[in-house]
Each structure stands twice: as structure tokens, then as C-alpha cells.
Amino acid sequence: MTYLQPVIGNLQVVAPPLWKDYELLDSGDGQKFERFGEYYLVRPESQAIWTPALAAGEWERADARFQRSKSEDGPGQWHLRRPLPDSWPMHYHNLSFWARLTPFKHTGVFPEHSAQWEWIRQQLTRLSPQPNVLVLFGYTGLSSLWAAQVGARVSHVDASKPAVRWAQENQQASHLLDASIRWFVDDVGKFVAREFRRGSRYDLILLDPPVFGRGPKGEIWRLTEQLPALMAQCVALLSDDACGLLLSAYATNVSALTLANVLADSLHGRGGEITAGELVLQPFAAANPPGSALRALVSLVNNSHQPALVGFVNSSCTLKCVGVRRNTISWRSKNSSARNRILTSARSGTSTTARPR
């Protein structure tokens, strides 16, 4: 058997396409100002340590603001400027889903995930009818619904019954009740081990693990301790024709290249290509830049070892992308077992794809 070392390419900055129903309006002073459907929200964002571009008066328009109680990732409270419904509809392409204010500042929608959806669509439509897709830590199901509506047979796993119920409501809202989706309320580690014993194999695996979580029976999930083993198990679940594995994580102390290195370890022997990058949200004005701002983006992407600075300049103000993750970066060189570490501090997102050959 020939063992192939997967190739890790340059770091990329990856942003979602424009949404009609979501907009990042501004960020700074530890917060971000966003629109979800018709409602404007202000939420904490520890990465956004810069100065907001918009005047404070603009931020006052927010319908709701989230205020943390104690710890950075603990629960907090929403303060409403006007009454908001318990849930409200949002749309992206053919998908319809519900947004809600949750006690942990989330809304049930991570728009940055859509940065990978076109790639997922392309991969799945190339495969034979009904490829098998596994979605771990699936939350409210948007990536699962996306994969299902492009023809995949999806297994969705999440520890939280309410999250799976919410995902099923999204399935109904999207008119995908006939789509092939199996919903599992289970611990990811237990599920993956069981699937391996049963001989199940998947053509694409998507996972978005939190830093810390609990399975339905209190099983503890700690990303920095358990990710390597979980990735090895996921790689063992890939079919011979698998098109990829997509890993994203919101972890302020884990870099895109750290994740890429973990993935490279797990994929050792399969070859393929790994891309790693910073997953970011772009403010609307930066996503529609005049020429100069566009050049800023291009040079940033080319200068991929230094992704710490993400700035877009247009004629009236300076807007920044909000990094969805914060990273320290290390790099494993091709064809070498030695690791040359390039350390830099970056404040944004991470997304890793591997395409085994």
C-alpha cells in the first residue's frame, strides 16, 4: 500500500456569499451589529477589539442587545428595545428556517457556514445518486438541510433534543419533509464508534464542534482533548469514494493550521488536499467594495501567512470583517514530518476541508 501525506495548501480567508436575510452592519468595541431578517441585534464578539465604523446612534437602532452575565461563554440576557416574536422566519436560497434569541447569544443561524455550502453542493452533485453525508454537532440543521436538498442521504447528530426539534421545524419550513434525513439525539463520540462497528461509511462528513459540550447523558466533550481521536474516527468512517471532510470550530485558542495539522495526522496514508482558513463575516459595504477595497481583499488572501489584519477601506469609512474564530497558526510543511512553526496571532475563522484522493 502506498502511503500519501495529505497536502496542506495556503491559508485562505473564507466569507459567505451575500444573504438577503442576514447582514453584518458593523463591529467593534467587543460587539457586532447584525440584521437577522427584519430584526437588528447587537451581540458580544470578543475578537472585535477595534473601533466601530458607524456612529453610536446607528447602533441604538438595534431591536435587541445581548448582555453576558458572568463568563465569556456563559448564559446572559437579551434586552429588548421593542417586543420581538419568539421566533421569526429567515431564508437562504431554497431553505427557510426559524431564528430565535437564545440564552447563549446564538440565534440558531450561523451565516458563516454558508461559505462552504456551494462547495458542498458541487461535491455532492458529482457523486453517485444519494451520497451519504454525516453531520456531527448539527445544531439547528441548516447544513443538514442544505446537503439533503442537493440530494444527499443525511445523518444528523446532536446531543440536544430541543436543537434537533428546532432542526425538524426548519425541515418543515423548508418543505423538505420528504428529504432523506435521519435525526439522532446522541453523543457524537458514541455515535461515531457505533457507526464504525456497524460498517456504515460516509461520502462527506461535516462537523462544527464547540469548545466544550455535553452529550445527552452528560458525556463531556472538550475540543482540545478529544478532537484528534474524533477526527481519526471520522476518517475511518469515510467511504473509499469520499469527497471530503469539513471541520470548522469556534475556538479562540485553536488555529486553522492547528486544525489542519490534526486533520493531516488523521488522514495520513490517504493523500488528498487540505485547505485551511479563516472563516469571516464581511460587512455588507465591504462585500460590495469600490476597486480599492477589492484590492485590499485580494492582497490579504495572497498574503495568507499574515491573516491577522483584515481591513477594507472605502471612501467614507473603514469596515472590518469580523473573524468568527481566533487563531494561533502553525504550519506543517509538505513531505516533512518536522513542523516549522510560524506563530502569529489571528482573530478569525477556521475551516478545513480535506479531499482524499
Ligand X SMILES: C[S@@+](CC[C@H](N)C(=O)[O-])C[C@H]1O[C@@H](n2cnc3c(N)ncnc32)[C@H](O)[C@@H]1O
Residue 137 within binding range of ligand X, rule CB under 6 A: yes
**Angle at the Cα of 118 from the Cα atoms of 115 and 120, rounded to 5 degrees:** 100
The least CB distance from residue 17 to ligand X, in Å, is 20
Minimum CB–partner distance for residue 338 and ligand X (Å):
31
How many amino acids of this chain bind ligand X (CB under 6 A)?
A: 18
Contacting ligand X within 152-191 (CB under 6 A): 157-160, 163, 187-188
Short-list 328, 325, 352, CA closest to 260: 352
Q: Are β-strands 204-207 and 244-248 bridged in parallel, bridged antiparallel, or unpaired?
A: parallel
Q: Report the number of secondary-structure helices (H) and strands (E) in the chain.
A: 9, 24
Residue 160 CB, nearest distance to ligand X (Å)? 4
User: Measured from the CB of residue 252, what is the shortest distance to ligand X in angstroms?
Assistant: 10
Which region, judged by CB under 6 A, interacts with ligand X, from 196-204, 209-217, 232-240, 326-334? 209-217
Minimum distance between the CB of residue 104 and ligand X, rounded to whole angstroms? Answer: 8
| Alpha helix ranges (H) inside 267-325 | 284-287, 291-302
Q: Is 215 in the site for ligand X (CB under 6 A)?
A: yes
Q: Does 97 bind ligand X (CB under 6 A)?
A: no
Q: Which residue is nearest to ligand X (CB)?
A: 213
Task: Report the nearest approach of ligand X to the CB of residue 159 (Å).
Answer: 3
Evaluate the CA torsion angle 330, 332, 333, 336 in order and state its sign.
positive
> Could you say which DSSP state residue 333 is in?
P
Q: Which is nearer to ligand X, 22 or 137 (CB)?
A: 137
- Residue 197, phi then psi, degrees to nearest 5: -60, -35
Note the helical H segments in the chain. Answer: 56-59, 117-126, 142-149, 161-173, 188-198, 223-237, 256-266, 284-287, 291-302
DSSP-derived secondary structure for 32-57: EEEEETTEEEEEE-TT--S--SS-HH
Q: Which of 20, 214, 295, 339 binds ligand X (CB under 6 A)?
A: 214
For ligand X, which is the closer residue by CB, 247 or 319?
247
In the region spanning residues 221 to 260, those forming contacts with ligand X, defined by CB under 6 A, are 221, 249-250
Minimum distance between the CB of residue 260 and ligand X, rounded to whole angstroms?
Answer: 17
Is 324 one of the binding residues for ligand X (CB under 6 A)? no
Interface contacts to ligand X, rule CB under 6 A? 137, 139, 157-160, 163, 187-188, 208, 210, 213-215, 219, 221, 249-250
